[in-house]
Amino acid sequence: MLSRWFDFGGDAIINTNEHIRLTQDVPSQSGYLWSRHPLFVPHFEVEFEFRVAGKGTGIVGDGFAMWLTKERAEPGPVFGNRDRFEGLGIFFDTYANTPQSHSFPYVMAMVGDGQTSYDNAHDGNANKLGGCQADFRDKNVPTKARITFNVKTGILNLKLQTTAWDHWVDCFTLQDIKLPSSFYLGFTAHTGEVHDTHDIIGVTTTVLEQSSHDNFVSQKHNNTPPPSKKSGLGWVFKFFAISGVFGGVIFVAYKASTKNNNKRF
């Protein structure tokens, strides 16, 4: 239940073998999962598996969000997180606050400057940088998202897997994105009058490197085939995968600091 790298709170509950449940399928819940330590990596990928489902067949909500922000673990009104955040929010919105030209669920991105509010009344339209319709609710296949971001080029891409295993569809690619120099990785969700369960099943982060040809290549590709049977250790395994990457980053930071100290003395 305790982790050096992540913590959770609000109404989030943990099933060690299965998932972190950010909200249950009941009204007025709000939960979070946040990295304890900031990331300082210039080029990376975050892939996570999630599941949104519930007994409701009509109006459900409200959805969940993935964050790369300067702040962490500050519950509030934006899918369970604080408003006026600084950094990236990707919203997996299952509830139409106002009639839209697109259908729901809808996935969209906003980069906050620490002062601008999320446009809650219009599902974030005022600050939408990119988005796509994505039928990710209550699916039989594992639903996943993969975000890649390159600080140098400012290019941010989101792909989704919602229809079949290893069938990734581009949701959006954004240019000239600037994030805070260090940021935390978080997931939050909330329910209001309408509700759903919002689960984070696993997260893997990969540090990507620059090749000698100035192209960026991945140190590691995660092409593992679908599990033939759900492993009880799935969450634990993935959790250690995260810890490994964060551990690596922290270790580098620690090494750098030690080196400076050595020089000084």
Binding site for Ca ion (CB under 5 A): 93, 95, 97, 123
Question: Nearest distance from residue 227's CB to Ca ion, in Å?
Answer: 32
**CB within 8 Å of 81: residues ≥ 6 apart:** 32, 65, 67, 74, 75, 89, 186, 188
Residue 19 and residue 31 in contact, taking contact as beta carbons nearer than 8 Å: no
- Residue 250, H or E segment: helix 234-264
Question: Nearest distance from residue 95's CB to Ca ion, in Å?
Answer: 5
Residue 48 and residue 202 in contact, taking contact as beta carbons nearer than 8 Å: yes
Residue 206 and residue 44 in contact, taking contact as beta carbons nearer than 8 Å: yes
Please say which residue, 123 or 196, places its beta carbon nearer to Ca ion: 123
Please say which residue, 45 or 123, places its beta carbon nearer to Ca ion: 123
Residue 134 and residue 171 in contact, taking contact as beta carbons nearer than 8 Å: yes
Please say which residue, 97 or 150, places its beta carbon nearer to Ca ion: 97
Please say which residue, 121 or 233, places its beta carbon nearer to Ca ion: 121
Please say which residue, 143 or 191, places its beta carbon nearer to Ca ion: 191
CA 10 to chain centre: 17
Question: Nearest distance from residue 75's CB to Ca ion, in Å?
Answer: 18
Dihedral angle computed from the Cα positions of residues 232, 249, 5 and 233, in that order, rounded to the nearest 10 degrees: 0
Question: Nearest distance from residue 183's CB to Ca ion, in Å?
Answer: 24
Question: Nearest distance from residue 5's CB to Ca ion, in Å?
Answer: 30
